[in-house]
Amino acid sequence: MEVKKGRLIETPSKVILFGEHAVVEGYGAISMAVDLKTRGRISSGGREIVVDLKNLGKSLTLDIEDIPRLNLGAYDSSVRYVLCALKSTMNYLREKGYGDFKPFKLEISSNIPVSCGLGSSASVVVTTVRSFLSANNIHLSRGELCRICFSVEKEVQGRASITDTATVIYNSVLKIKNTNNFEVLEGTKLYNLLKDCQFLVVHVERRKKKTAELVKEVARHPRKEEIFRSIGEIVDLVEGVSTEEELGELMVKNHELLRDLGVSTRKIDRVVELGSRYGYGAKLSGAGGGGVVVILVEEDRREKLLKSLRELKVLDIFQCKVGVKS
């Protein structure tokens, strides 16, 4: 059976709404899928799998029989996530007894900024895995998808948390309990509040340091434990909030603690200030050292906020909502 021409797979990105850095030490965090997406368009191929990476201007042509034995080190780092996703999926399926996989063409494109805490690599990995499954008319549970995609991120990065892959797979709001354990908050008081909120994701500036470097610096901070406890208390409080005002206030408090940890920047602080003045609240999202700020929008002051952000010359502004469960 041929692959239906133009079949589309869409995968969201994610933000950390509360709890980054403290989650590394076992405190909770709240992650949220947002509707910045990676798109994979599948069509029938010839005898090989062809992956066209639109944003990178690169194309991969792969013999199906070679994929389980791919040496990722022989390829440019920019394409390793896709290659590893194909390899891990095929090996997982073969262990489950599947075989005779179909060739297909996959075009991948994305509007997610990279290397700024939005889970762009996880979104691409999940899109690739789901595209392979769809092209071969195979259904796996979300739990199985999480295992495959987490293993890909871990293999390519050397270490990883399940946060990014789980959040974009479930396309919802998650409470992260540790690096391997999470709870989907769908149907909860917090989820019902968040799904009606409007957010801006502001790409403020390029990150000056890698996540691993920032984590090491935070680990040496003299007030680390005190700050982590306070962040953990905010994560516990947020599950009980009822209004956007309460939610925004906690976002600002969480940001102030991250600033105390030394992971914010002057420009990020300025964006958070604008988000607090013209919205309900704001905070950096992710490891810090540059990257993105999430702003909870107040509709009456949206245009003033947007004008101020443009005057500050941020890199990009995205209007987002919580991902809708697929």
What's the whole-number mean pLDDT along residues 252-272?
97
CATH 3.30.230.10 range(s) for the chain read 7-184
SS3 per residue for 63-118: CHHHHHHCCHHHCCHHHHHHHHHHHHHHHHHHHCCCCCCCCEEEEEEECCCCCCCC
Q: Is 164 a catalytic residue?
A: yes
C-alpha dihedral (271, 32, 135, 133), degrees to nearest 10: 140
**Interatomic CA distance for residues 9 and 42, integer angstroms:** 8
pLDDT on residue 3:
47
CATH 3.30.70.890 range(s) for the chain read 189-320
Tell me the fold of 189-320: Alpha-Beta Plaits (3.30.70)
pLDDT on residue 325:
53
Write down the residue that tokens 């964006």 correspond to. 271
pLDDT on residue 5:
54
CA 266 to chain CA centroid, nearest Å? 24
The DSSP line for 198-222 is -EEEEEEE--SS-HHHHHHHHHT-T
Residue 1 binned pLDDT confidence (cut-offs 50, 70, 90) = very low
- What does CATH list as the number for 7-184? 3.30.230.10
Residue 179 binned pLDDT confidence (cut-offs 50, 70, 90) = low
Per-residue pLDDT tens digits for 76-128:
988 999 999 999 999 999 999 998 999 999 999 999 999 888 999 999 999 99
pLDDT on residue 209:
83
What's the whole-number mean pLDDT along residues 228-247?
96
- Kind and range of the H or E run holding 284: strand 279-285
Q: Residue 4 pLDDT more than 70?
A: no
More confident residue, 139 or 162: 139
What's the whole-number mean pLDDT along residues 182-190?
94
What's the whole-number mean pLDDT along residues 152-165?
86
**Interatomic CA distance for residues 175 and 278, integer angstroms:** 28
pLDDT on residue 39:
97
Task: Report the SS3 class of residue 14.
Answer: strand
**Interatomic CA distance for residues 33 and 285, integer angstroms:** 13
- % of residues, the chain, pLDDT over 90: 82
Single out the catalytic residue among 35, 76, 100, 164. 164
